[in-house]
C-alpha cells in the first residue's frame, strides 16, 4: 500500500507554493505526523507531515520546485517496503528525488528491488543539484546538524550562505542571523570584485513577489485616495510618562503609541462603518467586528498580522499582541491564522523615521491608517506659538465606497480621541 504526500490547503487566496527543503530523502523511514518537507508560500512557511508511517518511496518535486495545492509531492510505502527503480538515463547523474546515484547493478535494467523499512546505509552523494535559479550548490546549507528556522534556511539558499558559517543569536539560526551573514559576505565580495561597478542578482522570494503583485493590483483595481491630518501627541505622551512604570509592572509590557491609535480607530470605525467594509461584486459588505491588521517588518518584506476583536481588548492586550507579532515576524514563526482576514489596517512608518507617507490599502480592505514620526513643531495654541510633539497621520481609502467627506471626518475623529485619550479610557 502507498500513501501520497500532497500539497495541503494552506490558507485563503493561496493556490501555489515552492518546495523549500526536503527533510527526508527517498528510502528513509518516516513516522505518521513527522515533518517531511518545508513549503514556502506567499505568506508563511509551512511543514508538510507524513500522512502515514512507512518508507519514503519517491520524491516527485525537488527543492526549488513550484507546486500547486493538491499536487503530489512524494509517495510513502506504508507496508515498510519501497520500490527503487532505475533507468539507463540515470547513470552518472543525481536524481531529482535525491534518492542517491545509481549502482552498477541498476545500469540498463528496470528490475524492481525491495528495501526493508529500516533506512538504507548512507550512500556516497554528490553535492546538491544545481538549482533552477542559478545552479548553486546547497549541500552545506542543508546540513541536518544546523538548527535553523525554515525562513532562515530559505534565505540562506537564496543568498548562498552556508548555514554552518552563520553565528546564531539564540537556540536556532534565524533570518536576521542569515541576513547579517549575507551582508558581510556581500561586502567582502564587493571589495574583491574586479569591476568598479559590482552587481548582485538574487531571485525574489515568493513573499516579496506577492507583495509587489498585490500592491500593484491594489492601485490598479481600487480608486485610492489619501487624506492627511496632524495630531498633537502631548496628552498621550503625558499619560505614557505617568503610567509607564506601573503599566509595565502590572502587565509585563510597555505602553506604546500604536495601542492608542488602534483603540481610537476602532471607536471611529463604529461611527463610520464603510471604512470597515469590503466590496464583493456589486455589494458592500459591512463588517460588524473589528479585526485590525498591524503592519510589522520582516526580513523579506512587510507582513500584516491581525489583532482579532480589537474592540474587546484592553491596551495591555493590544500591546502584548503587537510585540508578539513583531518577535515572530523576525524569526519567521507567524502562522497563516495570524495573517488571515482583517477589516482595517494600521501601519507605523514612524518607527523607521518617516515623517509623511501615503500607505497602500491591503485588499479586500478599503482603508488603512498611516502613523508617522513624532516631531516637535511650532503650532498656535490660544493665540500663542508653542512647541508641541506633533504627528502627521494619513488615511488611504477606496473612493469607490468611501466618500471624501466621510474619510476626512473619520480621521478627524481619530485625532480627537488621541488628543484626549481619557475618552478612550472611559469607553473601555
* Helix count and strand count (H, E) for the chain: 9, 21
User: How far is the C-alpha of 37 from the C-alpha of 24, rounded, in Å?
Assistant: 7
List Cβ neighbours of 88 (8 Å cut-off, separation of 6 or more).
107, 108
**Cβ atoms 55, 30 nearer than 8 A:** yes
User: How far is the C-alpha of 11 from the C-alpha of 153, rounded, in Å?
Assistant: 22
Per DSSP, which regions of 194-253 are E strands?
A: 224-232
**Cβ atoms 74, 30 nearer than 8 A:** no
**Cβ atoms 15, 42 nearer than 8 A:** no
**Cβ atoms 5, 35 nearer than 8 A:** no
The DSSP code for 148 is: B
End-to-end CA distance of the chain: 59
Catalytic residue among 66, 337, 403, 420: 403
β-pairing, 344-348 vs 296-298, is unpaired
List Cβ neighbours of 54 (8 Å cut-off, separation of 6 or more).
3, 29, 30, 76, 77, 78, 79, 80, 117
Residue at grid coordinates 502631548 = 234
User: How far is the C-alpha of 356 from the C-alpha of 349, rounded, in Å?
Assistant: 8
User: How far is the C-alpha of 255 from the C-alpha of 240, rounded, in Å?
Assistant: 6
Q: Is 232 a catalytic residue?
A: no
Q: Is 61 a catalytic residue?
A: no
List Cβ neighbours of 303 (8 Å cut-off, separation of 6 or more).
43, 207, 295, 296, 329, 334, 339
User: How far is the C-alpha of 420 from the C-alpha of 239, rounded, in Å?
Assistant: 10
Nine cell digits for residue 328? 515572530
DSSP assignment of 92-139 equals TS--TT---PPPGGGTT----EEE-SSPPPP---PSPPPPTTT----T
User: How far is the C-alpha of 235 from the C-alpha of 296, rounded, in Å?
Assistant: 25
Query: Which residues are known to be catalytic?
Result: 399, 403
Amino acid at each position: 500500500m502507498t500513501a501520497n504526500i500532497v500539497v495541503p490547503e494552506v490558507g485563503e487566496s493561496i493556490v501555489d507554493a515552492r518546495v523549500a527543503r526536503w527533510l527526508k530523502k527517498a528510502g528513509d523511514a518516516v513516522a505518521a505526523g513527522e515533518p517531511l518537507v518545508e513549503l514556502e508560500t506567499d505568506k508563511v512557511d509551512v511543514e508538510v507531515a507524513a500522512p502515514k508511517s512507512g518508507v519514503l518511496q519517491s520524491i516527485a518535486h525537488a527543492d526549488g520546485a513550484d507546486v500547486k495545492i493538491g499536487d503530489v509531492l512524494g509517495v510513502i510505502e506504508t507496508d515498510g517496503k519501497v520500490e527503487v527503480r532505475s533507468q539507463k538515463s540515470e547513470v552518472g547523474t543525481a536524481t531529482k528525488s535525491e534518492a542517491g546515484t545509481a549502482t552498477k547493478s541498476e545500469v540498463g535494467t528496470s528490475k524492481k528491488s525491495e528495501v526493508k523499512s529500516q533506512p538504507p546505509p548512507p550512500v556516497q552523494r554528490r553535492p546538491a543539484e544545481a538549482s533552477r535559479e542559478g545552479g548553486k550548490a546547497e549541500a552545506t546549507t542543508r546540513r541536518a546538524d544546523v538548527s535553523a528556522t525554515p525562513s532562515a534556511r530559505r534565505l540562506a539558499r537564496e543568498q548562498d550562505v552556508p548555514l554552518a558559517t552563520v553565528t546564531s543569536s539564540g537556540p536556532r539560526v534565524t533570518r536576521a542571523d542569515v541576513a547579517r551573514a549575507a551582508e558581510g559576505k556581500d561586502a567582502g565580495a564587493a571589495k574583491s570584485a574586479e569591476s568598479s561597478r559590482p552587481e548582485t542578482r538574487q531571485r525574489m522570494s515568493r513573499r516579496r513577489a506577492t507583495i509587489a503583485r498585490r500592491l500593484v493590483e491594489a492601485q490598479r483595481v481600487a480608486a485610492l485616495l489619501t487624506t492627511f491630518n496632524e495630531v498633537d501627541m502631548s496628552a498621550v505622551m503625558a499619560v505614557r510618562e505617568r503610567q509607564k512604570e506601573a503599566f509595565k509592572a502590572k502587565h509585563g509590557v510597555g505602553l506604546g503609541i500604536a495601542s492608542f491609535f488602534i483603540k481610537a480607530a476602532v471607536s471611529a470605525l463604529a461611527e463610520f462603518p464603510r471604512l470597515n467594509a469590503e466590496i464583493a461584486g456589486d455589494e458592500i459588505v459591512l463588517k460588524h467586528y473589528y479585526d485590525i491588521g498591524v503592519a510589522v517588518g520582516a526580513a523579506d518584506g512587510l507582513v500584516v498580522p491581525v489583532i482579532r476583536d480589537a474592540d474587546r481588548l484592553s491596551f495591555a492586550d493590544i500591546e502584548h499582541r503587537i510585540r508578539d507579532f513583531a518577535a515572530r515576524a523576525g524569526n519567521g514563526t507567524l502562522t497563516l491564522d495570524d495573517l488571515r482576514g482583517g477589516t482595517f489596517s494600521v501601519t507605523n512608518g514612524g518607527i523607521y523615521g518617516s515623517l509623511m507617507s501615503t500607505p497602500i490599502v491591503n485588499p479586500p480592505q478599503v482603508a488603512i491608517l498611516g502613523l508617522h514620526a513624532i516631531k516637535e513643531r511650532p503650532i498656535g495654541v490660544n493665540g500663542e506659538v508653542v512647541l508641541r510633539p506633533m504627528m502627521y497621520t494619513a488615511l488611504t481609502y477606496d473612493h469607490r465606497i468611501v466618500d471624501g467627506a466621510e474619510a476626512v471626518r473619520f480621521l478627524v475623529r481619530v485625532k480627537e480621541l488621541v488628543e484626549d485619550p481619557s475618552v478612550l479610557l472611559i469607553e473601555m
